[in-house]
Structure 1
Amino acid sequence: MDTPKSKKLDIIIPAFRGHSQNFVMVLDGISEEDALKRIEGRTNHIIWMVGNFLDMRDAMGNVLGIEDEFEFKEYFSQGKALDESFKYPTLQQLKDSFHKISPLVYQKLLEVSDEDLEKAFPMGMNIDFFPEDVLNFVGMCIGREDYLSGQVGLMRRILGYEGMKYDFDENMKY
């Protein structure tokens, strides 16, 4: 395993890599058509969930100094609600974006210093037990990725797909 510059990220690095693996595995075999299905018009579709996952990766990258913008930000930024009038990107386009941004964010996570992680990052939460800094923002993004992966996993089963297989790709280094 890669060693981050900051010991504060010892738990984040394996979580990030695990989420990258989960992202690939939970989407395995999902068709483009099924990725746009909603359940009884009440759920988000998988495309929205995947786009929101990528928005989290983009947000982490931005707070760590990556200036690239997620090319589909207009659809997903800050958890923007699903809008059925949008022509969302395809699942394949989102997978391609994932493989573009994830290695960049991973490298930044390895390089970031304690000082940079301790920098204030106002989120407007105003919760006394939650310091609003870069480290906690990264942690929130990781938590959101967990949540979204679980949602996609549930949608996968509802749509009649087998449960996710845990076939980790040892060659994926992010």
Structure 2
Amino acid sequence: MDTPKSKKIEVITPAYRMHSQSFMNVLEGISEEDALKRIENKTNHIVWMAGNFVNMRYSLGWVLGLKDEDPYSELFFQGKALNETKKYPSLEELKKNFHEISPKIYQRLLEVTDEELEEIFEIGMNIPYVKETKLNFAGMCIGREDYLCGQIGLMRKILDYPGMKYDVDETLKY
């Protein structure tokens, strides 16, 4: 198991890796056609959910000092509302972006220092009990990824796919 430089980030790194597994597992077998379906025009589609997940990864990378840009940021940044007049990327494109950015972020998570994590990063949420630091942003990203995987898992069931498996791909090191 990898040991991060920062003791503060030790709780984040296992969750980050587990979310990588969950992301791949929850998308397993979903067709591109089904990934664009909405329920009674009330839900986001799976592509939007997956795109927002990948965008969270890019955002975390940016906060940790990476300069990689999400090619679909204009569709997903800060949970931007689904716009049915826009063309969304395929699940395969999103998975490709996921695999490009995720190992870079994982490496940064291992290298980041406590001092860097305590740096102020203003999110603009104005929640009195949330100190807006890079560490808390990383935690919020983990929470958002949990939420999105849960939403995709629910959509799997609604669209008559089997529930997500919790298989672990040991070659996925991020």
Shared fold per TM-score greater than 0.5: yes
CA displacement, residues 65-117 of structure 1 (integer Å, 9 cap, x when unaligned): 00010111111111100000001001100011100010011000000000000
Q: Deviation per CA, 1:91-146, whole angstroms, max 9, x where unpaired?
A: 10001110001001100000000000000011122222111110001100110000
User: Structure 1: any 5+ residue segments left out of the alignment?
Assistant: none
Distance 1:86 1:127 in 2: 33
Alignment RMSD (CA, Å): 0.6
Q: Which residue of 1 aligns with 2:17?
A: 17
CA distance in structure 2 between the partners assigned to 1:127 and 1:166 by the alignment: 34
In the alignment, the residues of structure 2 paired with residue 125 and residue 93 of structure 1 have an alpha-carbon distance, to the nearest angstrom, of 31
CA offsets 1:8-58 (integer angstroms, 9 cap, x no match): 011100000000000000000000000000000100000000000011101
Counterparts of 2:138 and 2:157 in 1: how far apart (Å)?
29
TM-score (norm 2): 0.98
Q: Identity over aligned residues, as a percent?
A: 65
**Partner secondary structure for residue 9 of structure 1:** coil
Equivalent residue for 1:70? Answer: 70
Once residues 163 and 128 of structure 1 are traced to their aligned partners in structure 2, the CA distance between those partners, rounded to angstroms, is 38
TM-score by length of 1: 0.98
Matches within 5 A, 1:1-174: 1-174=1-174
Give, as a single letter, the amino acid of the residue that structure 1 aligns with 2:164: M
Structure 1 segments (4+ residues) deviating >6 Å: none
Q: Distance in 2 between matches of 1:56 and 1:69?
A: 11
2:166 aligned counterpart, secondary structure: coil
